[in-house]
Amino acid sequence: MPEPLAGARELVDDLVGDRAAEWDRSGEIPDEVLRTLAARGLLCAGVPTDFGGLGATSAANGEFTAYVGSRCSSLRSVMTSQGMAAWAIQRLGGPRQHAMYLPELAGGRLAAVAFSEAEAGSDLSAMTTTIEPDGDAVVVRGRKVWTTAAHYADVIVVVGRYGSGAAAVVVPLSAPGVTVRRVPLPSGCRAAGHADVRLDEVRLPADAVLGGGQPLMLLVTTALAYGRISVAWGCVGILRACLDAARRHARDRRQFGEPLARHQLVGRHLANLLTAEQIATRVCEHASRGWDSGSPDMVIATVLAKQVSAAQAAQGAATAVQVLGSAAAHEGHVVERAFRDAKLMELIEGSTEICQLILADHAVSMAA
């Protein structure tokens, strides 16, 4: 059987080349790059082959996500959004919706996922967006913020209140009442197409609703699981890029008559970076094994992977800047981008603190 991701890294190399810094500065990934990867199913490679996807395992998709993340965190962010939208449809939708939406996402249409609102960040239970049945239609009203990839997307999976529970709804950007406004000058992942989304009386067919009536936090946890494993692997990529840049620099740059790497305090930075990369890789591999075997521990292993990898990436990128000194003090340098991008990974898909609260609850329930 052919390996589903054969040739994928080479295609990414061709498409990204040395342009990640340019995209970071302009805040824009060329449409052709996103459409080429999307049409090959590579932005959501875990979609099963039955629905026109590549059917990659979580482990293989994770390694590919890390590779993309090592080249361009903005592109990896778009990939995370696409994969999370496909996962939400797969987990929350019925057979008709699988057949309707998944082949489209695996075949080139771009998607984003909107949970957050101005007053509902870490506390998503405060969300006020509503999805209301109206005859054989539904009407969506609300304001979403910071939706990654919304600037590029054809559809947005919007989470909102539905009766006494919650639902997700697939909203085409072309629907009347949808307005997308870009977040100006984000500090990192600048070309990931973050945008605020207004939904003014958006009328959609009722079969656009996924998972109607589920408890809000259950629905959110289901959809976020993919985002968390994807971001965790993306952080592995950030660490690999930083380790690569730092070790090259420490080998080539001489001070006090010796390569930097020979100075033991610099050597300690390299050891810390290697350790960070290895720790992040191992927790991600562990979580992906859970996904691939359908382990009941998969959800908590994913939270652990996200929390550990994001913290390691933020610390590791700062360490890499220290090793490179002024060489990394240029906007767009791979390590300088990593420093900005990695910090944001500690805020999203459940901040470090929110992940720690989930892990603390888990620890308490284990002891019971």
Shortest Å distance, C-beta 351 to ligand FAD: 3
Task: Work out whether 189 is an interface residue with ligand FAD (CB under 6 A).
Answer: yes
Residues 193-212 binding ligand FAD (CB under 6 A) are 194
219 is a contact residue toward ligand FAD (CB under 6 A):
no
Among the listed ranges 18-26, 146-154, 203-211, 297-305, the one in contact with ligand FAD (CB under 6 A) is 146-154
Q: How far apart are CA 53 and CA 33, in angstroms?
A: 19
Minimum separation from the CB atom of position 79 to ligand FAD (A): 12
User: Of these, 148, 272, 307, 319, which contacts ligand FAD (CB under 6 A)?
Assistant: 148
CB of 198 to ligand FAD, least distance (A): 14
Residue with nearest beta carbon to ligand FAD: 121
Residue in 177, 175, 180 with CA at minimum distance from that of residue 197: 180
Candidates 116, 129, 272, 281; binder of ligand FAD (CB under 6 A) is: 116
Q: Where does this chain touch ligand FAD (CB under 6 A) — which range of 107-115, 201-209, 287-295, 306-314?
A: 107-115
For residue 357, the minimal CB distance to ligand FAD (Å) is 6
121 near ligand FAD (CB under 6 A) = yes
Judged by beta carbon, residue 318 or residue 347, the one nearer ligand FAD is 347
Q: Does 79 bind ligand FAD (CB under 6 A)?
A: no
The residue within the footprint of ligand FAD, chosen from 110, 209, 344, 358 (CB under 6 A), is 344
Torsion over CA: 23, 315, 225, 218 (sign): negative
CB 220 within 8 A of CB 84: no
Give whichever of 33 and 348 is closer to ligand FAD, judged by the CB atom. 348
Q: Does residue 146 touch ligand FAD according to CB under 6 A?
A: yes
> Is residue 129 a contact point for ligand FAD (CB under 6 A)?
no
Q: Does 113 bind ligand FAD (CB under 6 A)?
A: yes
HEC letters along the chain: CCCCCCCHHHHHHHHHCCCHHHHHHHCCCCHHHHHHHHHCCHHHCCCCHHHCCCCCCHHHHHHHHHHHHHHCHHHHHHHHHHHHHHHHHHHHCCHHHHHHHHHHHHCCCCEEEECCECCECCCHHHCCCEEEEECCEEEEEEEEEEECCCCCCCEEEEEEEECCEEEEEEEECCCCCEEEEECCCCCCCCCCCCEEEEEEEEEEEHHHEEEEEECHHHHHHHHHHHHHHHHHHHHHHHHHHHHHHHHHHHHHCEECCEEHHHCHHHHHHHHHHHHHHHHHHHHHHHHHHHHHHCCCCHHHHHHHHHHHHHHHHHHHHHHHHHHHHHHHCCCCCHHHHHHHHHHHHCCCCCCHHHHHHHHHHHHHHHHC
Single out the segment in contact with ligand FAD by CB under 6 A; choices: 13-21, 133-141, 275-283, 348-356.
348-356
Per CB under 6 A, 54 contacts ligand FAD: no
299 in contact with ligand FAD (CB under 6 A): no
Does position 354 interact with ligand FAD (CB under 6 A)? The reply is yes
Nearest CA among 87, 205, 81 for reference residue 154: 81
User: Of the listed pieces 25-33, 113-121, 166-174, 291-299, which binds ligand FAD according to CB under 6 A?
Assistant: 113-121
Shortest CB 346 distance to ligand FAD, Å: 8
Kindly tell me which residue out of 222, 347, 359, 362 binds ligand FAD, with binding defined by CB under 6 A. Answer: 347
Alpha-carbon distance of 168 to 161, in angstroms, equals 9
Q: Which residues bind ligand FAD (CB under 6 A)?
A: 81, 113-116, 121-122, 146-148, 186, 189, 194, 344, 347-348, 351, 353-354, 357
